[in-house]
């Protein structure tokens, strides 16, 4: 019975990501995404990338998306300025989170691989993290929010994989609302 309690505690902890706001948006002056919303779009981007990149381990890739910000349930979402002064020990967080879980070693290994950023899957996962932000910035830009434009070039430069750069370029060439204007209003660019 101890194992199921540990599993349920992990589920409650993961649920906390719905309550934690992404901190970087306050610098933009717009956006109100929580970490769980961010995790969803990152994971969906990784599903798409798994279809685009031959030979990639799709389960590992999608799992990394689900887990990449799990530690934030305990440490919050530190922005780039905070990270200049505060060092979060994500490995310690994950180690404590997975104690007593029969699949704890798997979560720990995925988190470590993502943070190391050396494997194909971890590089794609890191790009997906940036692509989620690029999607938000492009949406804001298309809606006329000027500060989003200031960030786009810098964030696009963070992309390291060919698939990430392809998707990033595609985002910049498509209007945020083209999909529904084309399909609902029968208006295309």
Say if CB 121 and CB 157 are below 8 A apart.
no
Instruction: Express each pLDDT in 6-25 by its tens digit.
Output: 999 999 999 999 999 998 88
Q: Measured between alpha carbons, how far is 38 from 171 in angstroms, rounded to an integer?
A: 17
- Please indicate, yes or no, whether the overall pTM of this predicted structure exceeds 0.85: yes
Instruction: Express each pLDDT in 83-129 by its tens digit.
Output: 899 999 999 999 999 999 999 999 999 999 999 999 999 999 999 99
- pLDDT value at residue 180: 87
Domain total in the chain:
1
Domain extent at residue 96: 2-183
- pLDDT value at residue 5: 94
Q: Measured between alpha carbons, how far is 75 from 48 in angstroms, rounded to an integer?
A: 29
Instruction: Express each pLDDT in 68-80 by its tens digit.
Output: 999 999 999 998 8
Question: Residue 70 sits in a domain of what CATH number?
Answer: 1.10.3210.10
* Residue 175 clears pLDDT 70, i.e. is over it: yes
Q: Measured between alpha carbons, how far is 137 from 147 in angstroms, rounded to an integer?
A: 9
- Long-range contacts: 160-163, Cβ < 8 Å, 24+? 160/123, 160/126, 160/127, 161/53, 161/120, 161/123, 161/124, 161/127, 163/49, 163/52, 163/53, 163/124, 163/127
188 lies in some domain: no
């Amino acid at each position: 019975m101890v194992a199921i309690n540990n599993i349920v505690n992990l589920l409650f902890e993961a649920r906390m990501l719905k309550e934690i706001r992404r901190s970087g948006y306050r610098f933009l002056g717009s956006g109100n995404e929580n970490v769980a919303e961010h995790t969803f779009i990152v994971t969906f981007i990784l599903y798409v990338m798994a279809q685009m990149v031959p030979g990639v381990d799709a389960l590992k890739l999608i799992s990394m998306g689900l887990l990449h910000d799990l530690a934030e349930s305990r440490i919050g979402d530190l922005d780039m300025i905070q990270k200049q002064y505060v060092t979060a020990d994500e490995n310690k967080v994950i180690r404590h989170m997975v104690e007593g879980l029969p699949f704890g070693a798997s979560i720990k290994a995925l988190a470590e691989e993502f943070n190391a950023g050396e494997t194909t899957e971890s590089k794609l996962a890191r790009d997906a993290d940036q692509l989620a932000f690029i999607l938000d910035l492009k949406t804001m830009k298309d809606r006329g929010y000027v500060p989003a434009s200031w960030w786009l070039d810098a964030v696009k430069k963070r992309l390291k994989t060919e698939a990430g750069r392809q998707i990033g370029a595609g985002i910049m060439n498509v209007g945020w609302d083209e999909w529904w204007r084309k399909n609902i209003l029968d208006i295309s660019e």
